[in-house]
A and B are shown apart, each in its own frame.
Chain A
């Protein structure tokens, strides 16, 4: 069978001493930059591009790939321990992960994330090996209309994310949409909310908003309550999940992997939607609904699996079509060109060793990651016991370095300071930042896809319901909306009747 022969060639390539070494370096670096708040894979890979000049092509791509999925692992660590999501997808992990850490279950949360990620990584590696080319073709069937409907579905499903006041949540979504509008309009070239500042012409970076609102806001309010810290971080319970925990997370990991793999194939925002969708699904069907938002282990395992599965499957469009689905993939393509490899549909046939070698190295890399990370959990957990006067300035410094490295711009450092203050104000007002981030990410994408679909259909709005994939997704959104809203409507009616 071809597949076995191909995978055999892949493992042959990946198992050479050089390639194993660079795989290890990649995942180790990835974990490290993922853990350091602010530093992300994009900046790191950009900095390492000159180094890859002098490496063999396969080794350098294996290393860069390792940095990417390694950082997805590491990113969840900071999201859980200090509520600092460095990536869009870790926002969801921080919702319950950070609460678990505050309850003294940081170890369990980290282990759940690692186990989920490993499983998802293994499954999605097999998926890429088996179906990469056909999957890429399916992704191409998604036109602007389909993407728009997918975003609608994402936004509707995300309504579940909000806990607390519905009014606050809607207000935050709208504020997020407004932040997302900052920048040059793709269609007309008109600058919106930029106040003639060229640095705002391409909008505000997600990392700046996420780290400011979540991380810095949290730090400021923690300083305020310093005396209550001993209460906040309870005694650390067992580091590893119990048998019962494992039972609880098995199904969520499976569902998260499925959702994440499927959505990760779509260029653009699939990875983010995967994590959000996995969380919302678990929240809806879990037996422990009441624990969500307060430290539910399913709320960590599911989105982490989705996140990692999506990170792997997002290689599919890059490897099979030469189309980058996110900035990291664009860098991988740059690295290939620098090595003299033309990324594109011919890579599979002309560079089979490279293609299968990278795929095999992903599985090996995931194995390295779990070996690296599980024993480290005890060490990470102790990090939250570092005294505040040391921990906070360190986090602040890393945030600033990380944000600066995004675009070598000091402007972004001022922006993160501003969004930190906003984050503090929101936490005082009991407004959750998660809906804001969702509006921030999905809003501009929805606008872009909707307008593009309408341009292509010459203003005919029926395009959203005449294209089958789009129609299916809008129908699903309608059903989800009814399911989500129905109990709330009923409850409110009950309350009204009681009065």
Chain B
């Protein structure tokens, strides 16, 4: 009797999820962005959501649930039903959260079904206009020689600029005075006003200032040069071989989302990444969509693992926590 009930219930669930996958999506899909509206991640999300809605023939809404370095929004999606109607679009911070937050309410790997990578936003080493070093090599030498004088700005604990700075200091084995800000805007403001010496931040935030000649730029942090900033060499080729940071963005569903639904979403994502407007806007931001074979669940799963393994020793060694 009891067994029969359980079986019936099971069949009902399987049936429901099958039919869900069949006519998925039959109502609007919500993409949670765990940061404030108007920021770089929000912009990426809105461009992708707009293009995905064309492919899914359903509205894809962007909902901003900011707070605690993205962990509030990610936690909400982790607890959402696994039906594919609530998704998370998060950046590199998804892989550093378990090292930065000791009391995380979710597991970034076990609580999510990866859908695919979206873009790797390169970062740039930039400095105030009147900063002495002229090239990346000079910057490294100058920083090592004047470590008690130089100041490095970042956009707050756990931000991409913080991570890049940590990796830089580990690579050149020099500790610098770090000046944290609440977000990139005030940090960039002080860099423009020559209050602080240098920083490393996403092309999303630095490209227009570099092109406007308001700040000095040294190098990009990706393995290859960036098309929108052709004059900049890579850090990898200018003194720090192997140095690589990118603000990669991924799309996730809550755990338990049926494989068919995840596949459908991955297809929509791939279609969105081929959309000409998305490509053009990404290029404006100094980035490009990932290759289609990386916009897949497997690619995101292994990339997430790899990034967790890369950052957790660096963060542990620096002894930094965000809670």
Asked if A and B bind, the verdict is yes
Give A residues with C-beta under 8 Å from B: 42, 45-46, 49-50, 53, 140-144, 184, 186-187, 189, 191, 194, 196, 198-199, 201-202, 267-268, 317, 321-325, 327, 330-335, 337-338, 340, 342-346, 407-409, 448, 452, 455-456, 458
List chain A residues, Cβ under 8 A from B321: 189
The answer to the question of B47 belonging to the interface, with a C-beta cut-off of 8 Å to chain A, is yes
Query: CA–CA, A330 to B41, complex, Å?
Result: 12
- Asked if residues A330 and B208 are in contact (CB atoms below 8 Å), the reply is no
Which partner residue on chain A sits nearest B149 by CB separation? A458
Partner-binding segment picked from B17-25, B132-140, B173-181, B252-260: B173-181
Which one of A330, A337, A342, A456 lies within 8 Å of B195 (CB-CB)? A456
- Asked if residues A49 and B46 are in contact (CB atoms below 8 Å), the reply is yes
Which partner residue on chain A sits nearest B215 by CB separation? A345
List chain B residues, Cβ under 8 A from A330: 36-39, 185
- Asked if residues B182 and A448 are in contact (CB atoms below 8 Å), the reply is yes
Give B residues with C-beta under 8 Å from A: 36-39, 42-43, 46-47, 50, 61-69, 71-72, 75, 100, 103, 105, 148, 151, 156-158, 177, 179-182, 185-186, 188-190, 192-193, 195-196, 207-209, 211-214, 280-281, 284-285, 320-323
- Asked if residues B189 and A322 are in contact (CB atoms below 8 Å), the reply is no
Chain B interface mostly: mixed
Query: CA–CA, A321 to B188, complex, Å?
Result: 10
- How near does chain B come to A326, taking the closest CB pair, in angstroms? 10
- Asked if residues B189 and A199 are in contact (CB atoms below 8 Å), the reply is no
- Asked if residues A337 and B64 are in contact (CB atoms below 8 Å), the reply is no
- Asked if residues B179 and A333 are in contact (CB atoms below 8 Å), the reply is no
- How near does chain A come to B148, taking the closest CB pair, in angstroms? 8
- Asked if residues A345 and B214 are in contact (CB atoms below 8 Å), the reply is yes
| A189 with B323, Cβ < 8 A, contacts A202-B66, A267-B189, A345-B208 known | yes
Query: CA–CA, A409 to B284, complex, Å?
Result: 33
- How near does chain A come to B246, taking the closest CB pair, in angstroms? 19
List chain B residues, Cβ under 8 A from A324: 38, 185
New contact pairs (6) apart from A334-B38, A334-B46, CB-CB < 8 Å: A196-B323, A324-B185, A334-B42, A337-B285, A344-B209, A407-B65
List chain B residues, Cβ under 8 A from A452: 179, 181
- Asked if residues B208 and A322 are in contact (CB atoms below 8 Å), the reply is yes
Which partner residue on chain A sits nearest B178 by CB separation? A455
Query: CA–CA, A144 to B103, complex, Å?
Result: 33
Which partner residue on chain B sits nearest A267 by CB separation? B189
List chain B residues, Cβ under 8 A from A345: 208-209, 212-214
List chain A residues, Cβ under 8 A from B185: 267, 323-325, 330
List chain B residues, Cβ under 8 A from A325: 185
- Asked if residues A50 and B50 are in contact (CB atoms below 8 Å), the reply is yes
List chain B residues, Cβ under 8 A from A198: 67-68, 71-72, 75, 105
- Asked if residues A334 and B75 are in contact (CB atoms below 8 Å), the reply is no
- Asked if residues A189 and B68 are in contact (CB atoms below 8 Å), the reply is no
List chain B residues, Cβ under 8 A from A331: 37-38
- Asked if residues B209 and A186 are in contact (CB atoms below 8 Å), the reply is no
List chain A residues, Cβ under 8 A from B196: 456
List chain B residues, Cβ under 8 A from A407: 64-67
What are 25 residue pairs bridging A and B, where the CB atoms are less than 8 Å apart in the complex? Answer: A42-B37, A140-B193, A144-B195, A184-B157, A186-B157, A186-B180, A189-B322, A194-B323, A198-B67, A201-B323, A202-B67, A323-B189, A324-B185, A330-B185, A331-B37, A332-B38, A338-B46, A340-B280, A342-B207, A344-B209, A344-B211, A344-B214, A407-B64, A407-B66, A452-B181
- Asked if residues A322 and B66 are in contact (CB atoms below 8 Å), the reply is no
Query: CA–CA, A415 to B160, complex, Å?
Result: 31
- How near does chain A come to B192, taking the closest CB pair, in angstroms? 6
- How near does chain B come to A331, taking the closest CB pair, in angstroms? 4
Pairs A-B, 4 closest by C-beta atoms: A344-B208, A345-B212, A334-B38, A201-B68
- Asked if residues A337 and B189 are in contact (CB atoms below 8 Å), the reply is no
Which partner residue on chain B sits nearest A348 by CB separation? B212
- Asked if residues B192 and A321 are in contact (CB atoms below 8 Å), the reply is yes
- How near does chain B come to A93, taking the closest CB pair, in angstroms? 27
- How near does chain A come to B17, taking the closest CB pair, in angstroms? 27
List chain A residues, Cβ under 8 A from B177: 455, 458
Query: CA–CA, A452 to B180, complex, Å?
Result: 8
- How near does chain B come to A412, taking the closest CB pair, in angstroms? 10
Query: CA–CA, A16 to B26, complex, Å?
Result: 41
Query: CA–CA, A458 to B148, complex, Å?
Result: 9
List chain B residues, Cβ under 8 A from A334: 37-39, 42-43, 46
List chain B residues, Cβ under 8 A from A50: 46, 50, 61-62
| A340 with B195, Cβ < 8 A, contacts A198-B68, A345-B209, A456-B179 known | no
Query: CA–CA, A186 to B181, complex, Å?
Result: 7
- Asked if residues B103 and A186 are in contact (CB atoms below 8 Å), the reply is no
- Asked if residues B43 and A338 are in contact (CB atoms below 8 Å), the reply is yes
Query: CA–CA, A345 to B207, complex, Å?
Result: 11
Query: CA–CA, A149 to B38, complex, Å?
Result: 30
Which partner residue on chain A sits nearest B66 by CB separation? A407
- Asked if residues A189 and B157 are in contact (CB atoms below 8 Å), the reply is yes
Which partner residue on chain B sits nearest A452 by CB separation? B179
List chain B residues, Cβ under 8 A from A267: 185-186, 189
